[in-house]
């Protein structure tokens, strides 16, 4: 890993540039890391332009902050489910986004070194002393970190990787024996509690067309149900999955879920444009006016508690087997 300071001020000045291999990523990243693509009123990351179809602007950062609150409340204030030790030393947060998870984890585990990586330098500069952020491409063929990790975490990365099995293989290789991988995700699918999505035809169409566009792009969105198998196939042991149904809004009789439902609705109404603009305009070739009209219909359905819409959240963790020393494991992987 190249520990080279990157940026000379502004929001990204606390971010460093990391190179996972010698393929030229570092050179190209230097020239594009702050050169965001502007399109349809949104901005998108410049590193590997076009590889990731969600924006990185303030509206998207607001959505990610809401997601952080939502995931944390779903876990009753916890940041993870894996039975990790409290004397962790090295932690990696892949696709850190605004860095909220990494910062909170660093606050809770002062003895751990927490690294957050992302293609966009949108993380704050005021962070705990044990937290650092890098511009890094986790899709690279080889990760070349200086140390093995005790925990690798990723959250809400649908649409990020074209090859998830390769990602899990890299994560496995870069964990200490006994270390944990944890993935927190939501299924990119909307369900009806009355089993009648016909009452929400625009939401149903939106999900179908997003799936079609993301698959054509090579990075399918609706993959949350596959994480458990991918972890098992990568060699992880004791793989455990928890699935939570989360209402969109406050229609459920369970008052404990009302605040969470409000957060999910707020997140979804921001997600309509975040997920749709590039997928629909670049892949499906919709014009921007028709996209906004369609999104208005989708948002109207998302706001209707009578439809009793909900989504599924998946929490999956697994452990790298004990028994091999790190250096021997590295040779065998």
Checking if the pLDDT of 299 tops 90, the result is yes
pLDDT the model gives residue 71: 98
* pTM beyond 0.85, yes or no: yes
Q: Which residues constitute the domain of residue 66?
A: 4-332
Q: Is the pLDDT of residue 333 over 70?
A: no
Number of domains in the chain: 1
The band of 324, judged by pLDDT with boundaries at 50, 70 and 90, is low
pLDDT given for residue 9 in this prediction: 29
**Residue, of 158 and 23, whose pLDDT is higher:** 158
Q: Residue 241 and residue 25: Cα distance in Å, rounded? A: 35
Rounded average pLDDT over 219-246: 98
User: What is the distance between the alpha carbons of residues 299 and 163, in angstroms, rounded to a whole number?
Assistant: 31
Exposed/middle/buried for residue 203 (C-beta within 10 Å: 0-12, 13-18, 19+): buried
Residue 3 pLDDT > 70, yes or no? Answer: no
**Cα 220 to Cα 188: distance, rounded to the nearest angstrom:** 10
Residues 48 and 90: their CA atoms lie apart, in Å, by 27
pLDDT digit string, tens, across residues 247-256: 999 999 999 9
Closest CA to 280 of 197, 188, 190, 205: 205
pLDDT at residue 16, rounded to an integer: 61
Mean pLDDT score across all residues of the chain: 88
- Looking up tokens 């149904």 gives 245
Compare 21 and 230 and report the one with higher pLDDT.
230
Does the pLDDT value for residue 320 go beyond 90?
A: yes
Contact 33, 46 (CB under 8 A): yes
258-286 pLDDT tens trace: 999 999 999 999 999 999 999 999 999 99
Q: Is the pLDDT of residue 13 over 60?
A: no
How sure is the predictor about 17, in pLDDT bands with cuts at 50, 70 and 90? low
In the structure, what pLDDT confidence band is assigned to residue 6 with cuts at 50, 70 and 90? Answer: very low
Please tell me the least confidently modeled range out of 30-39, 43-52, 207-216: 30-39
pLDDT in tens, 162-177: 999 999 999 999 999 9
Nearest CA-CA partner of 3 in 150, 123, 144:
144
CATH number at residue 235: 3.40.50.150
Whether 49 has a pLDDT exceeding 90, the answer reads: no
Residue found under tokens 């609705």 = 265
Q: Which stretch of 9-13, 45-49, 98-102, 193-197 has the lowest confidence by average pLDDT?
A: 9-13
- Confidence check: pLDDT of 52 > 70: yes
* Tokens 């009355």 belong to residue: 194
């Amino acid at each position: 890993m190249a520990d080279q300071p990157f940026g000379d001020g502004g929001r990204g000045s606390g971010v460093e540039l990391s190179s996972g291999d010698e393929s030229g990523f570092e050179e190209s990243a230097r020239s594009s890391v702050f050169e965001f693509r502007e399109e349809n009123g949104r901005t998108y990351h410049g590193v590997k332009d076009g590889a990731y179809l969600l924006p990185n602007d303030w509206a998207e950062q607001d959505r990610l902050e809401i997601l952080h609150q939502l995931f944390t409340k779903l876990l009753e204030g916890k940041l993870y489910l894996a039975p990790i030790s409290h004397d962790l030393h090295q932690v990696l947060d892949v696709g850190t986004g605004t860095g909220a998870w990494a910062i909170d984890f660093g606050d809770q585990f002062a003895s751990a070194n927490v690294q957050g990586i992302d293609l966009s330098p949108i993380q704050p500069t005021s962070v705990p002393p044990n937290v650092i952020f890098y511009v890094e491409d986790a899709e690279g063929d080889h990760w070349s970190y200086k140390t093995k990790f005790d925990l690798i975490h990723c959250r809400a990365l649908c649409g990020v990787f074209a090859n998830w099995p390769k990602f899990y293989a890299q994560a496995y290789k870069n964990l200490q024996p006994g270390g944990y991988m944890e993935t927190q995700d939501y299924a990119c699918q909307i369900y009806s509690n009355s089993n009648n999505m016909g009452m929400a035809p625009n939401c149903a169409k939106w999900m179908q067309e997003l799936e079609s566009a993301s698959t054509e792009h090579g990075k399918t969105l609706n993959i949350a149900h596959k994480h458990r198998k991918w972890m098992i196939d990568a060699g992880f042991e004791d793989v455990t999955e928890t699935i939570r149904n989360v209402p969109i809004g406050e229609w459920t009789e369970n008052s404990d879920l009302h605040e969470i439902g409000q957060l999910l609705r707020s997140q979804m109404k921001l997600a309509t444009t975040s997920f749709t603009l590039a997928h629909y305009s670049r892949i499906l070739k919709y014009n921007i006016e028709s996209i906004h009209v369609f999104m208005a219909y989708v948002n109207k359905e998302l706001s209707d508690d009578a439809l009793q819409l909900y989504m599924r959240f998946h929490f999956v963790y697994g452990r790298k087997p004990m028994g091999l020393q790190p250096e021997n494991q590295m040779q065998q992987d």
